[in-house]
Amino acid sequence: MLAAGLLAAAAAAGGCAAVSWTVAQFAPPQKVDALYKPPKGKTILVFVDDIYTEVAYQPIKVELTDRLNDRLTKYKIAAATVPYKNFITLASAGRDFDNLTVAEAGRRLGADLVLYVHIDKFSLRDDEQSPLWHGQLQATIRIVDVDAGRLWPLDDPEGYAVPPVDLPAVDNSSAAYGSEVARQLAEEMAERIVNCFRDHTAPAQGTWEQAQQSGV
């Protein structure tokens, strides 16, 4: 009865587009297959990089790494992961680190595979003078075997572009709120990345905007 009532109200309020959106809210979750399943029983190094973008807010690297490490073991994608502190120790040891390949870095840290994550875009605000916080994060990823080289994706040298995270704008005058925005970005991006490597469920597709654009 609740569903019928909502459908009737939606039809009266916005026609077919509103009905399409409302129906989507009651549709069962969709099954989504993994894009790639890494070999099982491996130790994975998460290597978050910004070599081409030079992110000003460096804590996003540890935020994203820690969340990826947690999810990789939680979903049994990795048997173990390399702690971020070990990666920092290697990176701080000398200039030699800058000359290492992704595979060599993984090998030195005792990993079997490397999940390389390049941050393509990161921002906490659209305008530094604005009180509006608008978090955005884009990244490309690839899986590298420390001995055999790249495993995935093989058809795109740049890596797989993960669907970007674009948070709703929030009006908050506190400078400290930026850390909360970064936390939300890391949480959402980590989930999107890990979902590339596991079968999972997702909400049924269909938003108000998509229904309107469909013209039904």
> Tokens standing for 109?
């840290």
Q: Locate the DSSP E strands across the chain.
A: 30-32, 43-49, 80-81, 113-123, 132-133, 136-145, 149-152, 160-166, 170-171, 200-202
CA triplet 132, 62, 153: central angle to 5 degrees? 100
**C-beta neighbour count of 216 within 10 angstroms:** 10
Assign 11 a pLDDT band (cuts: 50, 70, 90).
Answer: low
**With contact defined as beta carbons under 8 Å apart, do 131 and 118 qualify?**
no
- How far apart CA 41 and CA 15 sit, in angstroms, is 52
Assign 215 a pLDDT band (cuts: 50, 70, 90).
Answer: very low
What confidence tens digit (pLDDT) does each residue in 177-187 have? 999 999 999 99
Characterize 42-52 residue by residue with b for buried, 16 or more Cβ atoms within 10 angstroms of its Cβ, and e for exposed.
bbbbbbbebee
Task: Please state the rounded mean pLDDT for residues 135-155.
Answer: 97
Characterize 163-198 residue by residue with b for buried, 16 or more Cβ atoms within 10 angstroms of its Cβ, and e for exposed.
eebeeeeeeeeeeeebeebbebbbebbbebbbbbbb
- How far apart CA 162 and CA 138 sit, in angstroms, is 7
Assign 40 a pLDDT band (cuts: 50, 70, 90).
Answer: very high
- Say yes or no to pLDDT of 207 above 50: no
Domains of the chain, with CATH numbers?
A: 2-32+205-214 (no CATH), 43-198 (3.30.160)
